[in-house]
Structure 1
Amino acid sequence: MRKIRTIDDLLDSLASESQRRKQEMITLNFLLDSRRKHEVQVVCRSSVVLAYAHWEQFVHHAAQVYIGYVDSRRLSLDQLSLNFQVIGCQRLIQDVINYQSEFCYQSQLIEQLKLRSSETLTLEYDKMKQKSNLDAGSFQRICEILGLETNLWRDKYGFINDLYRTRCNIAHGELSSDSPQVEYAKEVLDFVIHGIDHFKTDIENAALNEDYLL
């Protein structure tokens, strides 16, 4: 992945990534309408797995390029919003968690926060990402890391969890009589297409509005 140095780099990366992923889902939607009856079930199952993969990877990509963009601004800790201060101090925070009784790690964290807050720290998404799987809880955590508002997403959390479970069942080879039907596959594709657009807009607005600043 190329370095994201400017707001145009960020917008271009989000646009390119979303367009490629949405195009494949539009094609799957067309196949659901055009395939012969005995092939529909296979296309339904494939649509759910691929749509989930596009959703998961776009969210992680968008988070990574946004954090990369903020990192390129080379801002000091005391200039950053609270969520980005947490990202910047993640290594020290993790040291405190891992070595709770070690005073030296606790003091290093306090020193960074109080005495060295004018320093620039490296911001990395990989240090914050606990897992790739994207159920509602993981999505909520990513939004919190990025400082994004989640109120408009909350009514989708039940569907996000159901999509995650259904994808896991299919990916693990489960076959059942109540496998995804055309209506559900289309609902998944529609959710992911619009979800990618929604999350992309959230990231763009956060960057353009400089929500990463204190």
Structure 2
Amino acid sequence: MQTALDQEMAWRIKEIGVFKVGAGANGPQRKPLIRAGVALLYAHWEGFIKNSSEIYLSYVESRALPYRDLKSCFVVFGLKGKINKLVDSRKSLPNIEAVNFIFSKMDETAKLQIGSAVDTESNLTSKVFSNIAGSLDIDTSPYETKFHLIDTSLVEKRNKVAHGEFLDIKGSDFSSLVDDILGLMRLYKTDIENAASLENYKRAP
């Protein structure tokens, strides 16, 4: 898992760095580079959160633990279909069948639905990020001071670029935004690594 996370982070830092350098240079290409850089920075923010979360879920699944040994948030990833049926149905019999099914699976080796587990909604705002992190039992309080920045300085500006609107950002502001977002990505990587190392995915005995 460590190697996968390192690789996931490394190529993104390298690519973002190209735009950061270009945004700091003088010349007519600077402003278009900054606008393109905002879109790219957002893409790496969304891509890293999604992919690193899936790497962690794959790691948890590879532990081959039964559902009953996992925290509830991870059990949801394996039994989501039946849980959704339980929530949606207003009839007692389907609900009883769903609950019985869930109980019957508790001693089976967990199989997590990783492909559909992490939904960034193509708009990774602070709210969406909090939902993803919370689904992995990762504390979001250390990120909260940057929530406004995520929503206004990154997501909102990226949407303007994506919709063809003019956006004028100073090179220094873009550089600061890059540092902030990379800092959040590094923090998330560290949180995932610590969660795996401390076996935070396990249910307390």
TM-score, normalised by the number of residues in structure 1 = 0.87
Aligned residue identity for 2:108:
E
Q: 2-side partners of 1:112 and 1:121: how far apart?
A: 14
SS at match of 2:142: coil
Pick the aligned partner of 2:201 from 162, 187, 212: 212
Give the structure 1 partner of residue 135 of structure 2.
145
Q: Which of the residues 10, 21, 30 maps onto 1:30?
A: 21
- Report 1:118-133 matches (<5 A): 118-130=107-119, 131-133=121-123
Residue identity matched to 1:199? Y
Matched, 1:184 2:173: yes
In structure 2, give the amino acid aligned to 1:15.
D
Gap regions ≥5 residues in structure 2: none
Query: Residue 68 of structure 2 aligns with which residue?
Result: 78
1:34 Cα deviation after fit: 2.2
Q: CA RMSD in A?
A: 1.6
CA apart distance, 1:59? 0.4
Tell me the matched-pair count. 201
Q: Is the 8 A contact 1:96 1:102 kept in 2?
A: no
2:184 maps to: 195
The 5-angstrom pairing of residues 40-189 of structure 1 reads 40-98=30-88, 100-130=89-119, 131-162=121-152, 163-175=154-166, 179-189=168-178
Measure, in 1, the Cα distance between the counterparts of 2:177 and 2:101.
45
2:93 and 2:157 map into 1 onto residues whose CA distance is: 46
Displacement of 1:115 after TM fit? 4.0
8 Å Cα contact 2:143/2:184 also seen in 1 = no
TM-score of the pair, normalised by structure 2: 0.91
* Offset of residue 33 of structure 1: 2.0
User: How far did 1:144 drift?
Assistant: 0.7
**Aligned mates of 2:130, 2:175 — CA distance in 1:** 24
Contact map agreement 1:81 1:213 (CA 8 A) in 2:
yes
Identity percentage of aligned residues? 26
Kept after mapping to 1: 8 A contact 2:23/2:31: no
Q: Structure 1 residues 74 and 43 mapped into 2: Cα distance closer, same or farther (>3 Å)? A: same
Segments of structure 1 that go 5 or more residues without pairing to the other structure are 1-9
